[in-house]
Amino acid sequence: MTTSDILRHTQESGDFTRLLESIPYAGYIGLQCDRFGDDIIFRLPRKDSNLGNPMLPAIHGGVIGGFMEVSAAIYLMMSQDTFRLPKIVDFSLDYLRAGLDRETYAECHLTRQGNRVANVMISAWQKSRREPIATARAHFLLDQ
């Protein structure tokens, strides 16, 4: 099955299983997606292998960053009318508080999309959206 077929299936069915299985890192960290109408909420379940500091315990910062970056790419793929794979150009991440050993969520918003470049804002939280653990900005190059 081609990438275009997987994206088409995901957009039409709302089932992210095939898409997530096609992204090895998403499977490694346990990334999950839930669609609510037009909104997609990304979920990072509690997982021992995602911990960076077992003393707190806290999620590794790289796992948080990877979770947010992959979430932004999936969000962008799902928000396009065409089946194009975005290429990350720039990713800027601000850690705001420790990501404790619990389920983590992320939400993305497309801030700008042209013919060649798209910008996505990402916010990750645990207990409350009003208290994000990290925010990020991602810039993607869109294939023509």
pLDDT confidence of 70, banded at 50, 70, 90? Answer: very high
**Per-residue confidence (pLDDT) for residue 81, from 0 to 100:** 67
Residue 29, pLDDT > 80, answer: yes
Q: Is pLDDT of 36 > 90?
A: no
DSSP per position, 44-109:
E---GGGEEETTTTEE-HHHHHHHHHHHHHHHHHHH-SS---EEEEEEEEEE-S--BSS-EEEEEE
Strand partners, 107: 41, 123
Q: What percent of the chain has pLDDT over 70?
A: 96
Query: Per residue in 72-95, pLDDT tens?
Result: 999 998 887 666 678 999 999 999
What are the chain's domains?
3-142 (3.10.129.10)
Report the chain's mean pLDDT, rounded to a whole number.
92
